[in-house]
Amino acid sequence: MPCPGDYFPVIWTVFSEINIVFIDLNQLFRNFSVQISSMEAVRSFYSYLRRFIDLSEEEFAHHLEPVIKVRRFGKREKVTRAGEIEDNFNFIAKGLVRKYYCKGNQEINTQISFEGHLILSQESFHSRQPSEYFVETIEPTTFVTITHDDLERVYAKSHQMEHLARLLITYAMVIKDRWQMQLVKMTPRERFLNFVTKNAELMQRVPQKYLASYLNIKAETFSRFKHLLRNYTRSTLVHS
């Protein structure tokens, strides 16, 4: 007959496995607790497209809804990897995402986007060549996605959808050119203040190292700017 102590390793193993399950479930809930419903995600995408053309609900339902996929990712999950051909046109319905490339041991961030914006490896998507970029979530994220092949079929059936695509591509190019001009013309301090003024919320949501890389500011310089901004804010509150 086995001694009671003989059961301890078995009991410990069972409890350990149960704890691992609980930990995994807790992590899962943390990752996806802030997600929105698929219907809300699709509606936000529809609202976004209406900024560019007068798109009726019937047209949206007929041309786009059948090819839409709602995809959900946890925190810090790869959406696209360098070396892969980008196949997904992604609209961020909920969450926070970055695009970056690797230079030696450094990750150079070229885009940080949140709800209501598009993010993908555009060059790869349009050229059908392997991406040089990674796309990775910063927060748990819900995407509204349409694949490249599905979009091509939509364009072939509708001149209006093809026109919409041109408007979206043009808008993305204009935004990119504006950002490149800011990198050239603005000082690091000006870039920092301009970003903070327009994206104050992201200062709390995005890790500092990502923001410093995105703004092309050295990490120590970014910290100094942030400290000066904090002191300026306190001084303003005291004297207001």
Q: Where do the H-state alpha helices sit in 186-218?
A: 188-198, 202-205, 208-214
| pLDDT score, position 35 | 62
Q: What is the pLDDT of residues 174-206, one digit of tens each?
A: 998 999 898 889 999 999 999 988 888 898 899
On average, the pLDDT of the chain sits at 85
d(CA 113, CA 130): 22
pLDDT > 70 in the chain, percent = 81
pLDDT at 125: 97
Check residue 86 and report its DSSP letter.
Answer: P
The pLDDT of residue 228 is 76
pLDDT at 157: 93
pLDDT tens-digit series, residues 116-168: 999 999 999 999 999 999 999 999 999 999 999 999 999 999 999 999 999 99
Q: Max CA-CA distance within the chain?
A: 83
Question: Residue 132 phi/psi, 5° resolution?
Answer: -95, 0
pLDDT score, position 36: 83
Distances (CA, A) of 32 to 20, 28, 85, 141: 18, 6, 27, 8
- Beta bridge pairs of residue 111: 99
Q: Are β-strands 134-137 and 106-114 bridged in parallel, bridged antiparallel, or unpaired?
A: unpaired
Pick the CATH number of 32-158 from 3.50.50.60, 2.60.120.260, 3.40.50.300, 2.60.120.10: 2.60.120.10
Q: pTM of the predicted model, to two decimals? A: 0.80
CB 135 within 8 A of CB 99: yes
